[in-house]
Amino acid sequence: MCYLTTVKHSMFYWSFGIVLALLALTAPAALLLGFLGAMAKRSQVAVVRWIGSIYTSMVRGIPDIIFFMFVPIALGQGIEYVRHKIKCPDVTEPIRQGNDFVVCAAAKFPLGSADQWVHQTYGFALATVAFAFVFGAFVANTIDGAMRAVPANQLETGHAYGMTRRQVFWRILVPQMWSYALPGLSNLWQILIKATPLLFLLGVQDVVYWARELGGSKTSRYEYPHGDWRLWYFMVLLVFYLLMTWGSEKVFRRLSTRFARGQATQAGQQHLEAKA
Amino acid sequence: MKKLIIGLALAVCASGTAMAQERTVRIGTEGAYPPYNFINDNGQVDGFERELGDRLCEMTGFNCTWVTNDWDTIIPNLVAGNYDAIMAGMSITDARKEMISFTQRYKPGDPSSFLALEGADESVMTGVVAAQSNTIQSSYLADTPATLVEFPTPEDMVAAVRNGEVDAALANSAYLSDVINESGGRLVFVGEPLDIADGVGMGLRQSDNELREAFDAAIKELEDNGELQVMLDKWFN
Protein backbone atom coordinates (compact mmCIF):
# COMPACT_ATOMS: atom_id res chain seq x y z
CA MET A 1 0.00 0.00 0.00
CA CYS A 2 2.83 2.31 0.83
CA TYR A 3 4.11 1.52 -2.63
CA LEU A 4 1.17 3.14 -4.37
CA THR A 5 1.51 6.32 -2.34
CA THR A 6 5.18 7.10 -2.98
CA VAL A 7 6.02 10.58 -4.20
CA LYS A 8 6.79 9.08 -7.57
CA HIS A 9 3.32 7.62 -7.78
CA SER A 10 1.70 10.89 -6.89
CA MET A 11 3.66 12.40 -9.79
CA PHE A 12 2.09 9.71 -11.95
CA TYR A 13 -1.40 10.61 -10.73
CA TRP A 14 -0.65 14.29 -11.20
CA SER A 15 0.37 13.64 -14.81
CA PHE A 16 -3.22 12.62 -15.60
CA GLY A 17 -4.14 16.15 -14.60
CA ILE A 18 -1.47 17.47 -16.95
CA VAL A 19 -2.93 15.51 -19.84
CA LEU A 20 -6.44 16.75 -19.03
CA ALA A 21 -5.17 20.31 -18.73
CA LEU A 22 -3.48 20.02 -22.10
CA LEU A 23 -6.73 18.83 -23.66
CA ALA A 24 -8.72 21.54 -21.94
CA LEU A 25 -6.38 24.25 -23.23
CA THR A 26 -5.58 22.86 -26.66
CA ALA A 27 -9.11 22.08 -27.77
CA PRO A 28 -10.48 25.64 -27.53
CA ALA A 29 -7.25 27.12 -28.87
CA ALA A 30 -7.27 24.77 -31.87
CA LEU A 31 -10.96 25.50 -32.44
CA LEU A 32 -10.29 29.23 -32.48
CA LEU A 33 -7.27 28.87 -34.73
CA GLY A 34 -9.25 26.57 -37.01
CA PHE A 35 -12.14 28.99 -37.19
CA LEU A 36 -9.79 31.82 -38.11
CA GLY A 37 -8.09 29.56 -40.64
CA ALA A 38 -11.42 28.68 -42.25
CA MET A 39 -12.40 32.35 -42.37
CA ALA A 40 -9.05 33.15 -43.96
CA LYS A 41 -9.57 30.49 -46.60
CA ARG A 42 -12.93 32.03 -47.52
CA SER A 43 -11.69 35.59 -47.42
CA GLN A 44 -12.18 37.91 -50.39
CA VAL A 45 -8.67 39.28 -49.97
CA ALA A 46 -6.30 37.10 -51.97
CA VAL A 47 -3.36 37.45 -49.56
CA VAL A 48 -5.42 36.34 -46.57
CA ARG A 49 -6.77 33.44 -48.59
CA TRP A 50 -3.23 32.38 -49.45
CA ILE A 51 -2.16 32.50 -45.82
CA GLY A 52 -5.13 30.28 -44.92
CA SER A 53 -4.34 27.75 -47.63
CA ILE A 54 -0.62 27.69 -46.93
CA TYR A 55 -1.26 27.13 -43.22
CA THR A 56 -3.62 24.22 -43.70
CA SER A 57 -1.82 22.49 -46.53
CA MET A 58 1.58 22.90 -44.90
CA VAL A 59 0.53 21.34 -41.59
CA ARG A 60 -1.47 18.61 -43.29
CA GLY A 61 1.34 17.72 -45.64
CA ILE A 62 4.25 17.62 -43.21
CA PRO A 63 4.46 14.85 -40.59
CA ASP A 64 3.05 16.00 -37.25
CA ILE A 65 6.08 14.91 -35.35
CA ILE A 66 8.23 17.42 -37.23
CA PHE A 67 5.92 20.21 -36.14
CA PHE A 68 5.91 18.95 -32.57
CA MET A 69 9.69 19.19 -32.62
CA PHE A 70 9.96 22.34 -34.69
CA VAL A 71 7.38 24.67 -33.15
CA PRO A 72 8.62 24.53 -29.53
CA ILE A 73 12.29 24.79 -30.54
CA ALA A 74 11.69 27.64 -32.99
CA LEU A 75 9.46 29.46 -30.54
CA GLY A 76 11.81 28.93 -27.59
CA GLN A 77 14.90 30.05 -29.47
CA GLY A 78 12.98 32.91 -31.10
CA ILE A 79 11.96 34.27 -27.71
CA GLU A 80 15.51 33.95 -26.37
CA TYR A 81 16.94 35.58 -29.49
CA VAL A 82 14.71 38.62 -29.10
CA ARG A 83 15.39 38.88 -25.37
CA HIS A 84 19.12 38.60 -26.06
CA LYS A 85 18.96 41.53 -28.51
CA ILE A 86 17.03 43.65 -26.02
CA LYS A 87 18.69 42.76 -22.72
CA CYS A 88 22.29 42.30 -23.75
CA PRO A 89 22.92 44.71 -26.62
CA ASP A 90 26.63 44.97 -25.80
CA VAL A 91 27.42 41.25 -26.04
CA THR A 92 29.34 40.97 -29.29
CA GLU A 93 29.80 37.20 -29.36
CA PRO A 94 27.61 35.49 -31.91
CA ILE A 95 24.57 33.59 -30.68
CA ARG A 96 25.34 30.60 -32.85
CA GLN A 97 28.77 29.29 -31.93
CA GLY A 98 29.31 26.10 -33.87
CA ASN A 99 26.60 23.75 -32.67
CA ASP A 100 25.75 25.88 -29.67
CA PHE A 101 22.92 28.30 -29.22
CA VAL A 102 24.28 30.76 -26.68
CA VAL A 103 22.40 33.75 -25.31
CA CYS A 104 23.43 35.81 -22.29
CA ALA A 105 22.20 34.64 -18.89
CA ALA A 106 19.68 37.46 -18.59
CA ALA A 107 18.08 36.51 -21.88
CA LYS A 108 17.45 32.92 -20.87
CA PHE A 109 13.75 32.23 -20.79
CA PRO A 110 12.79 31.10 -18.29
CA LEU A 111 15.84 32.33 -16.37
CA GLY A 112 18.32 29.58 -15.51
CA SER A 113 17.79 30.38 -11.86
CA ALA A 114 14.03 29.97 -12.05
CA ASP A 115 12.41 27.12 -10.14
CA GLN A 116 11.93 23.81 -11.86
CA TRP A 117 8.16 24.25 -11.95
CA VAL A 118 8.60 27.43 -14.00
CA HIS A 119 10.60 25.48 -16.57
CA GLN A 120 7.97 22.78 -16.59
CA THR A 121 5.12 25.21 -17.03
CA TYR A 122 7.00 26.89 -19.85
CA GLY A 123 7.58 23.54 -21.56
CA PHE A 124 3.92 22.75 -21.12
CA ALA A 125 2.92 26.09 -22.63
CA LEU A 126 5.15 25.49 -25.66
CA ALA A 127 3.60 22.05 -26.05
CA THR A 128 0.13 23.55 -25.95
CA VAL A 129 1.06 26.02 -28.68
CA ALA A 130 2.49 23.23 -30.84
CA PHE A 131 -0.60 21.07 -30.42
CA ALA A 132 -2.95 23.99 -31.09
CA PHE A 133 -0.97 24.96 -34.19
CA VAL A 134 -1.12 21.46 -35.68
CA PHE A 135 -4.69 20.66 -34.75
CA GLY A 136 -5.86 24.14 -35.72
CA ALA A 137 -5.00 23.36 -39.33
CA PHE A 138 -7.09 20.22 -39.33
CA VAL A 139 -9.96 22.04 -37.66
CA ALA A 140 -9.71 24.79 -40.28
CA ASN A 141 -10.23 22.28 -43.05
CA THR A 142 -13.13 20.61 -41.28
CA ILE A 143 -14.87 23.92 -40.65
CA ASP A 144 -14.16 25.11 -44.18
CA GLY A 145 -15.79 21.95 -45.51
CA ALA A 146 -18.75 22.36 -43.16
CA MET A 147 -19.25 25.94 -44.33
CA ARG A 148 -19.34 24.76 -47.92
CA ALA A 149 -21.96 22.18 -46.98
CA VAL A 150 -24.47 24.80 -45.86
CA PRO A 151 -27.04 25.07 -48.74
CA ALA A 152 -26.21 28.06 -50.93
CA ASN A 153 -29.88 28.93 -51.38
CA GLN A 154 -30.12 29.84 -47.74
CA LEU A 155 -27.24 32.26 -48.05
CA GLU A 156 -28.79 33.75 -51.19
CA THR A 157 -32.08 34.16 -49.36
CA GLY A 158 -30.23 36.07 -46.69
CA HIS A 159 -28.71 38.40 -49.27
CA ALA A 160 -32.11 38.83 -50.90
CA TYR A 161 -33.49 40.02 -47.57
CA GLY A 162 -30.88 42.72 -47.62
CA MET A 163 -28.44 41.26 -45.08
CA THR A 164 -24.80 42.27 -45.41
CA ARG A 165 -22.13 39.65 -46.06
CA ARG A 166 -21.18 39.82 -42.42
CA GLN A 167 -24.73 39.26 -41.27
CA VAL A 168 -25.17 36.31 -43.60
CA PHE A 169 -21.95 34.84 -42.27
CA TRP A 170 -22.73 35.15 -38.58
CA ARG A 171 -26.50 34.63 -38.64
CA ILE A 172 -26.96 31.97 -41.30
CA LEU A 173 -23.70 30.29 -42.16
CA VAL A 174 -22.03 29.85 -38.76
CA PRO A 175 -25.05 28.57 -36.78
CA GLN A 176 -25.76 25.97 -39.46
CA MET A 177 -22.26 24.79 -40.22
CA TRP A 178 -21.68 23.31 -36.73
CA SER A 179 -24.00 20.47 -37.53
CA TYR A 180 -21.84 19.55 -40.52
CA ALA A 181 -18.56 20.17 -38.74
CA LEU A 182 -19.32 18.08 -35.68
CA PRO A 183 -18.50 14.58 -36.99
CA GLY A 184 -15.15 15.83 -38.27
CA LEU A 185 -14.45 17.71 -35.06
CA SER A 186 -15.24 14.68 -32.92
CA ASN A 187 -12.73 12.71 -34.97
CA LEU A 188 -10.10 15.36 -34.37
CA TRP A 189 -10.86 15.40 -30.67
CA GLN A 190 -10.28 11.66 -30.48
CA ILE A 191 -7.02 12.02 -32.38
CA LEU A 192 -5.99 14.79 -30.02
CA ILE A 193 -6.65 12.55 -27.01
CA LYS A 194 -4.54 9.84 -28.57
CA ALA A 195 -1.76 12.26 -29.43
CA THR A 196 -1.12 13.37 -25.85
CA PRO A 197 1.68 10.82 -25.26
CA LEU A 198 3.69 12.90 -27.73
CA LEU A 199 4.03 15.31 -24.81
CA PHE A 200 7.04 13.38 -23.64
CA LEU A 201 8.84 14.21 -26.85
CA LEU A 202 8.48 17.82 -25.82
CA GLY A 203 10.00 17.18 -22.42
CA VAL A 204 6.73 17.15 -20.48
CA GLN A 205 6.49 14.12 -18.22
CA ASP A 206 3.11 12.73 -19.11
CA VAL A 207 1.20 9.58 -18.14
CA VAL A 208 3.05 7.33 -20.57
CA TYR A 209 6.44 8.48 -19.31
CA TRP A 210 5.53 7.74 -15.71
CA ALA A 211 3.87 4.43 -16.55
CA ARG A 212 7.06 3.34 -18.28
CA GLU A 213 9.27 4.66 -15.54
CA LEU A 214 7.24 3.15 -12.68
CA GLY A 215 6.52 -0.12 -14.45
CA GLY A 216 10.09 -0.75 -15.57
CA SER A 217 11.81 -3.43 -13.53
CA LYS A 218 13.51 -2.15 -10.41
CA THR A 219 16.62 -3.57 -8.81
CA SER A 220 17.26 -3.32 -5.10
CA ARG A 221 18.79 0.13 -5.63
CA TYR A 222 15.19 1.22 -5.33
CA GLU A 223 13.07 1.12 -2.23
CA TYR A 224 10.53 -1.27 -3.76
CA PRO A 225 12.27 -3.69 -6.12
CA HIS A 226 10.01 -5.46 -8.59
CA GLY A 227 10.05 -7.08 -12.02
CA ASP A 228 8.68 -5.74 -15.26
CA TRP A 229 5.27 -4.36 -14.31
CA ARG A 230 4.80 -2.18 -17.34
CA LEU A 231 1.86 -4.27 -18.52
CA TRP A 232 -0.15 -3.34 -15.42
CA TYR A 233 0.65 0.32 -15.66
CA PHE A 234 -0.27 0.38 -19.31
CA MET A 235 -3.55 -1.32 -18.41
CA VAL A 236 -4.33 1.66 -16.20
CA LEU A 237 -3.66 3.95 -19.16
CA LEU A 238 -5.87 1.77 -21.34
CA VAL A 239 -8.75 2.20 -18.91
CA PHE A 240 -8.09 5.94 -18.70
CA TYR A 241 -8.12 6.42 -22.46
CA LEU A 242 -11.17 4.20 -22.90
CA LEU A 243 -13.04 6.24 -20.31
CA MET A 244 -12.05 9.42 -22.11
CA THR A 245 -13.38 8.04 -25.39
CA TRP A 246 -16.60 6.82 -23.82
CA GLY A 247 -17.19 10.18 -22.13
CA SER A 248 -16.47 12.21 -25.22
CA GLU A 249 -18.73 10.10 -27.40
CA LYS A 250 -21.60 10.82 -25.03
CA VAL A 251 -20.90 14.53 -25.10
CA PHE A 252 -20.64 14.62 -28.89
CA ARG A 253 -23.90 12.73 -29.27
CA ARG A 254 -25.63 15.35 -27.17
CA LEU A 255 -24.01 18.18 -29.07
CA SER A 256 -25.02 16.79 -32.43
CA THR A 257 -28.67 16.48 -31.38
CA ARG A 258 -28.49 20.01 -30.05
CA PHE A 259 -27.03 21.45 -33.26
CA ALA A 260 -29.38 19.47 -35.49
CA ARG A 261 -32.34 21.39 -34.18
CA GLY A 262 -34.07 23.38 -36.92
CA GLN A 263 -31.66 22.18 -39.62
CA ALA A 264 -32.65 21.17 -43.10
CA THR A 265 -31.05 17.78 -42.54
CA GLN A 266 -32.33 14.33 -41.72
CA ALA A 267 -31.48 14.76 -38.06
CA GLY A 268 -33.27 18.11 -38.00
CA GLN A 269 -36.31 16.50 -39.57
CA GLN A 270 -36.39 13.90 -36.82
CA HIS A 271 -36.48 16.70 -34.28
CA LEU A 272 -39.59 18.17 -35.86
CA GLU A 273 -41.29 14.80 -36.06
CA ALA A 274 -40.50 14.04 -32.45
CA LYS A 275 -42.13 17.30 -31.44
CA ALA A 276 -45.26 16.80 -33.50
CA MET B 1 17.96 54.40 11.82
CA LYS B 2 21.65 54.64 11.01
CA LYS B 3 22.14 51.03 12.00
CA LEU B 4 19.27 50.04 9.81
CA ILE B 5 20.80 51.79 6.80
CA ILE B 6 24.18 50.20 7.38
CA GLY B 7 22.51 46.86 7.84
CA LEU B 8 20.61 47.27 4.62
CA ALA B 9 23.73 48.35 2.75
CA LEU B 10 25.59 45.30 4.06
CA ALA B 11 22.72 43.05 3.07
CA VAL B 12 22.71 44.51 -0.43
CA CYS B 13 26.47 44.04 -0.76
CA ALA B 14 26.26 40.50 0.52
CA SER B 15 23.56 39.57 -1.92
CA GLY B 16 25.49 41.34 -4.66
CA THR B 17 28.61 39.26 -4.23
CA ALA B 18 26.60 36.10 -3.77
CA MET B 19 24.86 36.76 -7.07
CA ALA B 20 28.14 37.17 -8.88
CA GLN B 21 29.46 33.78 -7.76
CA GLU B 22 26.33 31.76 -7.98
CA ARG B 23 25.69 30.77 -11.49
CA THR B 24 22.77 28.41 -11.82
CA VAL B 25 23.75 25.24 -13.58
CA ARG B 26 21.10 22.89 -14.86
CA ILE B 27 22.35 19.32 -15.13
CA GLY B 28 20.60 17.03 -17.56
CA THR B 29 20.45 13.28 -16.99
CA GLU B 30 18.51 10.31 -18.28
CA GLY B 31 17.21 8.99 -14.97
CA ALA B 32 16.98 5.41 -16.22
CA TYR B 33 20.47 3.94 -15.82
CA PRO B 34 21.08 2.73 -12.28
CA PRO B 35 23.49 2.89 -10.59
CA TYR B 36 24.66 5.93 -12.60
CA ASN B 37 21.40 7.80 -12.43
CA PHE B 38 17.80 6.86 -11.75
CA ILE B 39 14.60 8.33 -10.36
CA ASN B 40 14.08 7.17 -6.79
CA ASP B 41 10.73 6.63 -5.12
CA ASN B 42 10.59 10.24 -4.10
CA GLY B 43 10.69 11.23 -7.75
CA GLN B 44 14.20 12.67 -7.31
CA VAL B 45 17.25 11.98 -9.42
CA ASP B 46 19.45 9.60 -7.46
CA GLY B 47 22.56 7.51 -8.04
CA PHE B 48 26.32 7.88 -8.41
CA GLU B 49 26.10 10.89 -10.68
CA ARG B 50 23.65 12.67 -8.41
CA GLU B 51 26.00 12.31 -5.47
CA LEU B 52 29.06 13.29 -7.48
CA GLY B 53 27.28 16.14 -9.24
CA ASP B 54 25.99 17.63 -6.01
CA ARG B 55 29.48 17.43 -4.52
CA LEU B 56 31.01 19.14 -7.56
CA CYS B 57 28.44 21.91 -7.37
CA GLU B 58 29.15 22.38 -3.69
CA MET B 59 32.88 22.73 -4.45
CA THR B 60 32.49 25.08 -7.39
CA GLY B 61 29.78 27.15 -5.73
CA PHE B 62 27.34 26.71 -8.58
CA ASN B 63 23.68 26.46 -7.82
CA CYS B 64 22.62 23.19 -9.42
CA THR B 65 19.29 21.78 -10.46
CA TRP B 66 18.67 18.37 -12.01
CA VAL B 67 16.62 17.85 -15.12
CA THR B 68 15.69 14.58 -16.81
CA ASN B 69 15.71 14.25 -20.56
CA ASP B 70 15.24 11.41 -23.01
CA TRP B 71 18.59 9.83 -23.91
CA ASP B 72 18.15 10.22 -27.67
CA THR B 73 17.74 14.00 -27.46
CA ILE B 74 20.08 14.62 -24.56
CA ILE B 75 22.87 16.18 -26.69
CA PRO B 76 20.63 18.34 -28.93
CA ASN B 77 18.93 19.80 -25.87
CA LEU B 78 22.29 20.63 -24.30
CA VAL B 79 23.51 22.58 -27.33
CA ALA B 80 20.12 24.29 -27.59
CA GLY B 81 20.69 25.58 -24.06
CA ASN B 82 17.85 23.78 -22.26
CA TYR B 83 20.38 22.77 -19.62
CA ASP B 84 24.09 23.37 -19.14
CA ALA B 85 25.69 20.00 -18.45
CA ILE B 86 25.10 16.30 -19.01
CA MET B 87 25.88 13.69 -16.38
CA ALA B 88 24.31 10.54 -17.73
CA GLY B 89 26.91 7.79 -17.77
CA MET B 90 28.03 9.24 -21.08
CA SER B 91 31.28 7.81 -22.44
CA ILE B 92 33.73 10.25 -23.94
CA THR B 93 33.97 9.49 -27.66
CA ASP B 94 35.37 11.30 -30.69
CA ALA B 95 31.98 11.29 -32.40
CA ARG B 96 30.39 13.06 -29.43
CA LYS B 97 33.29 15.48 -29.18
CA GLU B 98 32.26 16.87 -32.55
CA MET B 99 29.01 18.06 -30.99
CA ILE B 100 29.92 18.83 -27.38
CA SER B 101 32.96 18.98 -25.15
CA PHE B 102 33.75 16.89 -22.09
CA THR B 103 35.38 17.43 -18.74
CA GLN B 104 38.09 15.02 -17.75
CA ARG B 105 36.62 11.62 -17.00
CA TYR B 106 35.11 11.05 -13.57
CA LYS B 107 34.83 7.32 -14.03
CA PRO B 108 37.36 5.13 -15.80
CA GLY B 109 36.33 3.33 -18.96
CA ASP B 110 33.67 0.88 -17.99
CA PRO B 111 33.77 -2.55 -19.59
CA SER B 112 30.74 -3.57 -21.61
CA SER B 113 29.28 -7.06 -21.47
CA PHE B 114 26.85 -9.28 -23.28
CA LEU B 115 23.66 -10.23 -21.49
CA ALA B 116 21.70 -13.31 -22.51
CA LEU B 117 19.23 -15.85 -21.17
CA GLU B 118 20.73 -18.65 -19.09
CA GLY B 119 22.15 -21.53 -21.06
CA ALA B 120 23.17 -19.33 -23.97
CA ASP B 121 26.61 -19.91 -25.50
CA GLU B 122 28.97 -17.43 -27.09
CA SER B 123 27.32 -17.75 -30.50
CA VAL B 124 24.69 -15.23 -29.36
CA MET B 125 27.35 -12.53 -29.52
CA THR B 126 27.17 -12.63 -33.30
CA GLY B 127 23.41 -13.23 -33.49
CA VAL B 128 20.73 -10.59 -33.03
CA VAL B 129 22.08 -8.23 -30.38
CA ALA B 130 20.28 -5.35 -28.70
CA ALA B 131 21.82 -2.07 -27.57
CA GLN B 132 20.52 1.31 -26.50
CA SER B 133 20.50 3.71 -29.45
CA ASN B 134 23.24 6.33 -29.72
CA THR B 135 25.58 4.53 -27.34
CA ILE B 136 29.14 3.30 -27.72
CA GLN B 137 27.73 -0.23 -27.60
CA SER B 138 25.45 0.35 -30.56
CA SER B 139 28.23 1.84 -32.66
CA TYR B 140 30.53 -1.01 -31.65
CA LEU B 141 27.95 -3.62 -32.71
CA ALA B 142 27.38 -1.89 -36.03
CA ASP B 143 30.97 -2.83 -36.98
CA THR B 144 30.66 -6.51 -35.98
CA PRO B 145 28.91 -9.37 -37.78
CA ALA B 146 26.11 -9.22 -35.19
CA THR B 147 22.69 -7.92 -36.25
CA LEU B 148 22.09 -4.77 -34.25
CA VAL B 149 18.66 -3.91 -32.85
CA GLU B 150 18.44 -0.55 -31.09
CA PHE B 151 16.17 0.36 -28.19
CA PRO B 152 15.49 3.81 -26.76
CA THR B 153 15.94 2.82 -23.10
CA PRO B 154 18.07 0.23 -21.26
CA GLU B 155 14.85 -1.17 -19.78
CA ASP B 156 13.40 -1.97 -23.21
CA MET B 157 16.67 -3.59 -24.18
CA VAL B 158 16.65 -5.95 -21.17
CA ALA B 159 12.98 -6.77 -21.74
CA ALA B 160 13.81 -7.78 -25.32
CA VAL B 161 16.37 -10.27 -24.02
CA ARG B 162 13.92 -11.66 -21.47
CA ASN B 163 11.19 -12.35 -23.98
CA GLY B 164 13.52 -13.76 -26.60
CA GLU B 165 13.08 -10.92 -29.08
CA VAL B 166 16.87 -10.72 -29.36
CA ASP B 167 19.62 -13.22 -28.59
CA ALA B 168 21.68 -10.92 -26.40
CA ALA B 169 22.17 -7.32 -25.31
CA LEU B 170 25.38 -5.35 -25.06
CA ALA B 171 25.57 -2.74 -22.32
CA ASN B 172 27.61 -1.33 -19.51
CA SER B 173 28.67 -4.14 -17.16
CA ALA B 174 27.83 -2.22 -14.00
CA TYR B 175 24.27 -1.69 -15.15
CA LEU B 176 23.87 -5.29 -16.26
CA SER B 177 25.30 -6.86 -13.12
CA ASP B 178 22.42 -5.40 -11.07
CA VAL B 179 19.95 -6.77 -13.57
CA ILE B 180 21.60 -10.20 -13.52
CA ASN B 181 21.84 -10.40 -9.74
CA GLU B 182 18.13 -9.86 -9.38
CA SER B 183 16.97 -12.02 -12.25
CA GLY B 184 16.97 -15.20 -10.15
CA GLY B 185 19.41 -16.90 -12.49
CA ARG B 186 17.36 -16.28 -15.63
CA LEU B 187 19.90 -13.86 -17.08
CA VAL B 188 23.65 -14.35 -17.34
CA PHE B 189 26.77 -12.70 -18.72
CA VAL B 190 28.13 -14.26 -21.89
CA GLY B 191 31.72 -14.07 -23.08
CA GLU B 192 34.43 -11.75 -21.85
CA PRO B 193 33.80 -8.08 -21.06
CA LEU B 194 34.83 -5.70 -23.86
CA ASP B 195 36.98 -2.65 -23.36
CA ILE B 196 35.37 -0.15 -25.69
CA ALA B 197 34.96 2.88 -23.44
CA ASP B 198 37.38 5.71 -22.78
CA GLY B 199 35.75 6.76 -19.58
CA VAL B 200 32.71 8.68 -18.49
CA GLY B 201 32.75 12.45 -18.32
CA MET B 202 30.48 15.40 -17.97
CA GLY B 203 29.21 16.75 -21.29
CA LEU B 204 29.24 20.52 -21.81
CA ARG B 205 28.63 22.98 -24.61
CA GLN B 206 31.82 23.58 -26.57
CA SER B 207 31.52 27.31 -25.99
CA ASP B 208 31.16 26.96 -22.22
CA ASN B 209 34.75 27.24 -21.04
CA GLU B 210 33.77 28.56 -17.63
CA LEU B 211 31.99 25.36 -16.64
CA ARG B 212 34.61 23.10 -18.15
CA GLU B 213 37.46 24.72 -16.27
CA ALA B 214 35.57 24.79 -12.98
CA PHE B 215 34.36 21.21 -13.15
CA ASP B 216 37.66 19.88 -14.47
CA ALA B 217 39.46 21.36 -11.47
CA ALA B 218 36.86 20.02 -9.05
CA ILE B 219 36.93 16.50 -10.49
CA LYS B 220 40.74 16.54 -10.37
CA GLU B 221 40.62 17.53 -6.72
CA LEU B 222 38.17 14.74 -5.82
CA GLU B 223 40.31 12.29 -7.72
CA ASP B 224 43.46 13.37 -5.87
CA ASN B 225 41.99 13.34 -2.39
CA GLY B 226 40.39 9.91 -2.91
CA GLU B 227 36.85 11.09 -2.42
CA LEU B 228 35.91 10.08 -5.95
CA GLN B 229 37.17 6.55 -5.32
CA VAL B 230 34.99 6.29 -2.21
CA MET B 231 31.94 7.22 -4.26
CA LEU B 232 32.86 4.79 -7.02
CA ASP B 233 33.28 1.99 -4.49
CA LYS B 234 29.98 2.82 -2.89
CA TRP B 235 27.94 2.72 -6.11
CA PHE B 236 29.84 0.20 -8.20
CA ASN B 237 31.32 -2.07 -5.45
The pLDDT tens digits of the residues spanning B98-130 come to: 999 999 999 988 789 999 998 888 888 889 999
Choose from B64, B77, B100, B155 for mutation: most chain A CBs within 10 A.
B155
Average pLDDT, chain A: 86
Q: Cβ B81–A7 below 8 Å, yes or no?
A: no
Quote the CA–CA distance of B42 and B153 in Å, as a whole number. Answer: 21
Question: How high is the pLDDT of residue A114?
Answer: 77
Q: What is the mean pLDDT of residues A3-7?
A: 79
CA quadruple A104, A108, A111, A117: dihedral, nearest 10: -150
A184-208 tens-digit pLDDT: 999 999 999 988 888 877 778 888 8
Q: How far is B191 from chain A (nearest CA, A)?
A: 23
Q: Which domains does chain B have, with CATH numbers?
A: 24-109+198-236 (3.40.190.10), 112-194 (3.40.190.10)
Question: What is the domain-level CATH number for residue A187?
Answer: 1.10.3720.10
Quote the CA–CA distance of A128 and A133 in Å, as a whole number. Answer: 8
Question: How high is the pLDDT of residue A1?
Answer: 60
Question: How high is the pLDDT of residue A26?
Answer: 93
Tell me the ipTM for this assembly: 0.72
Q: What is the Rg, in whole angstroms, of the alpha carbon atoms belonging to chain B?
A: 21
Residue of higher predicted confidence among A170 and A259: A170
* Sheet of B45-46, strands arranged across: B32-33, B37-39, B45-46
Quote the CA–CA distance of A262 and A248 in Å, as a whole number. Answer: 24
Q: What is the mean pLDDT of residues A175-185?
A: 91
* Chain B residues within 8 angstroms (CB to CB) of chain A: 23-26, 31-32, 34-35, 38-44, 46-47, 63, 65, 67-70, 77, 79-82, 84, 99-100, 153, 155, 158-159, 162, 178-179, 181-182, 205-208
Contact list, A223 vs chain B (CB under 8 Å) = 40-41
Q: How far is A260 from chain B (nearest CA, A)?
A: 47
Question: How high is the pLDDT of residue B213?
Answer: 92
Q: How far is A96 from chain B (nearest CA, A)?
A: 10
pLDDT by 10-residue block (mean), chain B, 237 residues: 51 42 84 88 90 93 89 88 91 90 90 90 89 91 92 89 92 89 87 87 91 93 92 88
Q: Cβ B155–A212 below 8 Å, yes or no?
A: yes
The parent domain of residue A209 ranges over 3-275
Measured in residues, chain A has a length of 276
Residue of higher predicted confidence among A119 and B9: A119
Q: What is the mean pLDDT of residues A124-150?
A: 92
- HEC string of chain A equals CCHHHCHHHHHHHHHHHHHHHHHHHHHHHHHHHHHHHHHHHCCCCHHHHHHHHHHHHHHHHCCHHHHHHHHHHHHHHHHHHHHHHHHCCCCCCCCEECCEECCCHHHCCCCCCCCHHHHHHHHHHHHHHHHHHHHHHHHHHHHHHHHHHCCHHHHHHHHHCCCCHHHHHHHHHHHHHHHHHHHHHHHHHHHHHHHHHHHHHHCCCCHHHHHHHHHCCECCCCCCCECCCHHHHHHHHHHHHHHHHHHHHHHHHHHHHHHHCCCCCHHHHHHHHHHC
Choose from A65, A221, A223, A233 for mutation: most chain B CBs within 10 A.
A221
Q: Nearest-CA neighbor of A138 among A84, A57, A72?
A: A57
pLDDT higher than 50, residue A34:
yes
Crossing angle for the helix pair B48-60 and B227-236, to the nearest 10 degrees: 160
Quote the CA–CA distance of B123 and B96 in Å, as a whole number. Answer: 31
Are the C-beta atoms of residues B204 and B216 closer than 8 Å to each other?
A: no
Q: What is the mean pLDDT of residues A29-47?
A: 93
The pTM assigned to this predicted structure is: 0.78
In Å, what is the CA distance from A208 to each residue of A112, A268, B66?
27, 42, 21
Q: How many domains does chain A have?
A: 1
